[in-house]
Chain A
Amino acid sequence: MMARQTGIFYLTCTLIIVTSGLFFGFDCVYLAQHVTPAIPAIGGALFIFVMATLFRTSFSDPGVIPRASLDEAAELERQMEVPNAGSPGTYRPPPRTKEVVIKGQVVKLKYCFTCKLFRPPRASHCSLCDNCVDRFDHHCPWVGNCVGKRNYRYFYLFILSLSVHCIYIFACVLTNLILRAQQDNFLTAMKESPASVIEAIVCFFSVWSIVGLAGFHSYLVASELTTNEDIKGSFTARRGADSFNPYSKGSIFKNCSQVLCGPVPPSLLDRRGYVVPDSSQAHHVSGPETQKERESNSVNVRHEYYGSTTVTNQKTGNMGTNTAPDLPPPAVVTTADEMLPAGENVKKREMISYQTPDGTINNKLPPLNGTSSPPTCGGRKNHIWDMTLNQLNYMGRSNNHAAIHGTNPGSVYPQPYRHSDYLSGTSVLPAVKGNKSTMSRGCSTDF
C-alpha cells in the first residue's frame, strides 16, 4: 500500500532505529548500572510501540475507496446526462457535484473522474497514490503513505509515541552526561560518550517538529477534524451560525475515543478481487499471458498501468502479432477528451466511438464529432489516464472478441455495440482475474 517514492520513509526508519540503537547501546548500559534497570525497559517498550505504529501506518490500506464498477460508472453517467440531454450541439459537461445534507449541514460531494464515483463526504483523491481515500487527512511522505480513515489512529499514536520517545531519549542522554560530568567536567563526559552527543543533537532538532505535530493532531482528534478540512477551513470559514462540524460527536472525550478506539472498517480492496468485472474474459482469451498477468483487481495494480507509459508502450509493441493477419481491422476505440485545467485530477469527458466488425461506426456520449474522429494510432495518449482498468480490459476484450469473431459478430453481440455494452462487464463468475494483456490487441492503435 506504499506509494512509489519510499526514500523518505527509509530515512525516517533509519533515523529512529539508529538513534534508538545508539541510546540502547551506550547510554542504557551506563544508566542501567548507575540509576535503574527500568530505563532500558521503558525505552524498549516505547521503541517497539513506535516501530509497530509506524509500520502499521505505512503498510496498511489508508481507506482507499475501490473504483466504481463499469455499471456503476455508467449509471452515474446516465444520471448526470439528464440535465442537458436536449442540447446535442452545445455540449457542456454536466455538473459534477452533488449535494447531500449531513445532520442538517449541506456538504458538496465532488465527482472523481479517475475513480468514477462521487467521493463520499470527507474523502479526497490523493494525487500521489492516485486513489480516493476515505476521511483523507494528508499524504505523509515521512511514512510513505496516505493517512486516512483506516490508519489515522496509527499515525496519531505514532507521532504521539515518537514525541514521548524523543523526549525520553533526550532526558536520559542529559542524565547520562550530567552523571558523568559529576565525576569529571562536562567536556570529558562528552568525550567519554560521543554517541550521547549525537543522540542529543538528533533529538533536540527533531523534538520540536514532532511535538508540534503531535499537538496539532491532538487538537484535530479532539475536534474530529482532518488536516485537510482544517486547512480548507471547511466548517469555520463561513462563520455562519449554522456552520458546524457535522462529524463531531459532541464532546472532546467522545471524539478522542471515536478516533482512538472506534471501529475501523476492514480494507475494501481485496474483496473486490473475486467479483472482477472483467472476469469473463477468461472464456475469450487464453494464453501464456493469461496466467502471467493474473493479478488482483485491487486499485493498486492499476497504478502501474496508468502511471507508466513504458508499460503501455510495451504493450503496443506486441500488437499485431496477436491478431490474425487476414482479419478486417478490428474495432477501434478512440477516445476524444477535453482537458479542463484541474487541480488534483485530470478532468475529462471521454467519448467513445468504435467500429463494429461489420464496418459501421457507432458513437455515443457526447453526440458530436465522434464519427469524424479517425481510427488512427496517432491519437492522444492522455485519455488512458481517465479510463479505469476495467474499461480498458473490457474494451480490449470486446475488440479482441470482435477480431476473433470478425465475420460473425451477431453471435455474441446481436446489435452494434452500444456504449453501455462496453460498460457492462460485471460478472459474478468466480475467481478468474482479468487479463490485462488483451488490451494490446485490437485497440492497440490507441495504447
Chain B
Amino acid sequence: MDNMARLSSSQCTKVFLQRDFTEGTGVRFQNKFPQELEGKIDRAILERTINTVNSIYLEAESLSGRTYCESCFACMTAYIAYLCMDTHYEKCLKKVARYIEEQNKTVFVQQGLMLVDPAERGLRVFEICILTEQQNR
C-alpha cells in the first residue's frame, strides 16, 4: 500500500517458535523451520541459531558442579549472597541476549528479519519479526 520498506516492528508479521517440552520442562525451542520464513532465510542459518540458543539454555539449566557450589554457598550465607552476585543462569541469559543481538546485526537484519530475545517474552516463545511484511492476519 505504501512504499515503506521497513515497518516498525509493531506492525510487522511475526513468526513464533513455541517451546519444545519433549526433553522435560527445561527451556528449549522447537527447531522446526516455520513455513512463513520459506525463502526469507537459509534453513541452516536459522537452525544453527536456534540450536546455539538452546544449547546455552541447556547449559544454564544443567546441574553442573558450578551451580551446585554456587547454590550451596548461597545457602550457607542464608541466601544473602544472591543480593550481590549473578547466578550462572543469569549469566547464561545475558549470553543469549548478546548472541541474539550479534546474530541480528550480522545476519538477520540484512535478510529483513529480526529475532527477539526469548527472555523478553518470558521464555515462552522465540519470536521472529519479518520486518518487510505488514501484518495481515
User: Do residues A72 and B124 form an inter-chain contact, with CB atoms below 8 A?
Assistant: yes
Say whether B123 faces chain A, with CB atoms less than 8 Å apart: yes
Closest residue of A by beta carbon distance from B20: A100
Ordered by A's residue number, 23 sampled pairs between the chains whose C-beta atoms are within 8 Å are A52-B79, A53-B78, A56-B79, A68-B124, A71-B127, A75-B14, A102-B25, A107-B21, A120-B19, A120-B124, A261-B68, A262-B63, A262-B67, A263-B67, A263-B71, A263-B88, A264-B89, A265-B60, A265-B93, A266-B93, A280-B10, A426-B10, A427-B8
Nearest 7 A-B pairs (CB), nearest first?
A66-B122, A52-B78, A427-B10, A261-B71, A268-B122, A420-B137, A100-B21
Residues of A within 8 A of B120 (CB): 271-272, 274-275
Say whether A300 faces chain B, with CB atoms less than 8 Å apart: no
Contact with B along A100-127 (1 / 0, CB 8 A): 1111000100000000010011100000
Closest residue of A by beta carbon distance from B97: A271
Question: B24 is contacted by which of A56, A247, A418 (Cβ under 8 Å)?
Answer: A247
Question: A428 is contacted by which of B9, B88, B122 (Cβ under 8 Å)?
Answer: B9
Within the assembled complex, what's the spacing in Å between the Cα atoms of A268 and B97?
A: 13
Given known A102-B25, A266-B87, A266-B89, contact A72–B72 (CB-CB < 8 A): no
Closest residue of A by beta carbon distance from B88: A263
Contact with A along B97-137 (1 / 0, CB 8 A): 00000000000000000001001111111010000000111
- Count chain B residues whose beta carbon lies closer than 8 angstroms to a beta carbon of A: 44
Within the assembled complex, what's the spacing in Å between the Cα atoms of A264 and B79?
A: 13
CB proximity to A under 8 Å, residues B68-106: 68, 71-72, 75, 78-80, 87-90, 93
Closest residue of A by beta carbon distance from B92: A263
Say whether A425 faces chain B, with CB atoms less than 8 Å apart: yes
A225 to chain B, nearest CB (A): 13
Say whether B31 faces chain A, with CB atoms less than 8 Å apart: no
Say whether A49 faces chain B, with CB atoms less than 8 Å apart: yes
Contact with B along A254-273 (1 / 0, CB 8 A): 10011011111110100110
Residues of A within 8 A of B10 (CB): 277, 280, 424-427
A111 to chain B, nearest CB (A): 13
Residues of A within 8 A of B8 (CB): 280, 427, 429
Kindly list 14 other residue pairs between chains A and B, CB separation below 8 angstroms, not including A78-B137, A120-B124, A272-B122.
A53-B78, A65-B124, A66-B121, A68-B124, A72-B124, A72-B127, A75-B14, A102-B21, A121-B21, A262-B71, A271-B119, A277-B10, A418-B137, A424-B10
Within the assembled complex, what's the spacing in Å between the Cα atoms of A15 and B105?
A: 57
Within the assembled complex, what's the spacing in Å between the Cα atoms of A122 and B19?
A: 14
A294 to chain B, nearest CB (A): 19
A-B pairs under 8 A by CB, number: 125
User: Do residues A261 and B67 form an inter-chain contact, with CB atoms below 8 A?
Assistant: yes
User: Do residues B24 and A246 form an inter-chain contact, with CB atoms below 8 A?
Assistant: yes
Residues of A within 8 A of B9 (CB): 426-428
Contact with B along A386-428 (1 / 0, CB 8 A): 0000000000000000000000000000100010110011111
Within the assembled complex, what's the spacing in Å between the Cα atoms of A71 and B136?
A: 12
Contact with A along B43-68 (1 / 0, CB 8 A): 00000000000000000111100011
Closest residue of B by beta carbon distance from A421: B135
Say whether B23 faces chain A, with CB atoms less than 8 Å apart: yes
Closest residue of A by beta carbon distance from B59: A263
User: Do residues A103 and B61 form an inter-chain contact, with CB atoms below 8 A?
Assistant: no
Say whether B1 faces chain A, with CB atoms less than 8 Å apart: yes
User: Do residues B25 and A103 form an inter-chain contact, with CB atoms below 8 A?
Assistant: no
Interface residues on A, range: 35 or more
Question: A264 is contacted by which of B19, B27, B87, B121 (Cβ under 8 Å)?
Answer: B87
Within the assembled complex, what's the spacing in Å between the Cα atoms of A157 and B10?
A: 44
Within the assembled complex, what's the spacing in Å between the Cα atoms of A414 and B3?
A: 13
User: Do residues B89 and A420 form an inter-chain contact, with CB atoms below 8 A?
Assistant: no
Say whether A74 faces chain B, with CB atoms less than 8 Å apart: yes
Say whether A241 faces chain B, with CB atoms less than 8 Å apart: no
Within the assembled complex, what's the spacing in Å between the Cα atoms of A426 and B120?
A: 12
Residues of B within 8 A of A247 (CB): 24-25
Say whether B33 faces chain A, with CB atoms less than 8 Å apart: no
Residues of B within 8 A of A154 (CB): 79
Given known A53-B79, A56-B79, A265-B123, contact A257–B21 (CB-CB < 8 A): no
Residue from A52, A120, A266 having most chain B Cβ neighbours under 10 A: A266
Residues of A within 8 A of B1 (CB): 414
Given known A157-B75, A425-B10, contact A120–B25 (CB-CB < 8 A): yes
User: Do residues A420 and B135 form an inter-chain contact, with CB atoms below 8 A?
Assistant: yes
Say whether A363 faces chain B, with CB atoms less than 8 Å apart: no
Within the assembled complex, what's the spacing in Å between the Cα atoms of A69 and B60?
A: 25
Within the assembled complex, what's the spacing in Å between the Cα atoms of A277 and B121?
A: 11
Residues of B within 8 A of A102 (CB): 21-25
Contact with A along B10-35 (1 / 0, CB 8 A): 11001010010111110100000000
Residues of B within 8 A of A66 (CB): 121-122, 124
User: Do residues B87 and A263 form an inter-chain contact, with CB atoms below 8 A?
Assistant: yes
Residues of A within 8 A of B121 (CB): 66, 69, 72, 272
Say whether A135 faces chain B, with CB atoms less than 8 Å apart: yes
